[in-house]
Structure 1
Amino acid sequence: MDNIRPIRTEADYEWALAEVAPYFDREPEPGSPESDRFLVLVDLISAYEEKHYPMPDPDPIDMIRHVMEQKGYAQKDFADLLGSKSRASEILKRKRPLTMNQAYKLNREWGVPAEALIRPYHTGDAA
């Protein structure tokens, strides 16, 4: 794997991004040396980003919205899961907190990670 090196600096990071960019336009054949190089570069970039640009954990409402977006669910789907339109609306508007039973349903039926649903978060008039 030609010239692959650890990413220690921002310059190394920029180099790795430039090296990996062409692979997104022209995907390498799985199992090929180019594919292996691509995967190693992506792992190095990911490790550097996790250390230097950590993403804050989403609060439960942000996580629910993310899952809804990813799975193509609408607020109606959330209401169907909870059995109440008004309850779904209040939760998404942060006017009412999730109950453990609702968190359990979200975990079991939609696959939302339980640890993301039990984090404390702000409810009230602010949205």
Structure 2
Amino acid sequence: MKWKVLKTSEDYQKAALRMMKIFHTEEEGPLLDELELLIVLIKDYDDRNHPLTKPDPIQTIIVKMEEMGIKAKDLVPLIGSKGHVSAVLSGKREITLKMAQKLRDFFQLPAEVFL
């Protein structure tokens, strides 16, 4: 099959099925070239139709706090006073680089999540 830019869900499904069929191809040649092209086309379709959104830093903190069973007061060493913690969690105060670094280490997440 001659592949082109995937524009419809049907095109995407056909490409995905073909990719899965030839996925374990290792030998050089037209089959490997087709696999590499399908991977690029599928990624392009996904990027255009299902873009990833950047996680909300405050929501990430709240979710991680719930997962770890901690309260806002436990963030005082990372963010500052109770007032600072409250202001950050309510979105009234920005997360600084220093805070992001401490939150990164504490929650073991990339600092970019908090910036």
What does 1:46-65 correspond to in 2, within 5 Å? 46-60=43-57, 62=60
Structure with bigger helix share is 2
Q: Which structure 1 residue ranges, 5 or more long, are not aligned?
A: 66-74, 76-85, 119-127
- The match for 2:30 is 33
Residues 113 and 100 (structure 1 numbering): CA distance in 2 closer, same or farther, change over 3 Å?
A: closer
Output the CA distance in 1 between the equivalents of 2:46 and 2:29.
26
Residue 13 (structure 1) aligns with: 12
What are structure 2's unaligned runs of at least 5 residues? 69-73, 80-84, 90-94
Runs of 4+ in 1 over 4 A off after TM superposition: 94-99
Match of 2:82 in 1: none
Can you list the C-alpha shifts for 1:78-119, whole angstroms capped at 9, x where unaligned?
Answer: xxxxxxxx229x99xx97645431313539xx68263x321x
| TM-score using structure 1 length | 0.50
Change (3 A) 1:59 1:4: same
> Would you say 1:4 and 2:3 are equivalent positions?
yes
Distance 1:62 1:40 in 2: 36
> What is the identity percentage for the equivalent residue pairs of Structure 1 and Structure 2?
22
For the structure 1 residues 3 and 112, does the alpha-carbon distance in structure 2 shift closer, same or farther, using more than 3 Å as the test? same
Aligned to 2:41: 44
Q: Which residue of 2 aligns with 1:87?
A: 75
Which of 75, 100, 104 lines up with 1:103 in the alignment? 100
Deviation at 1:40, TM superposition (A): 1.1
Q: Quote the Cα distance in structure 1 between the aligned partners of 2:13 and 2:36.
A: 17
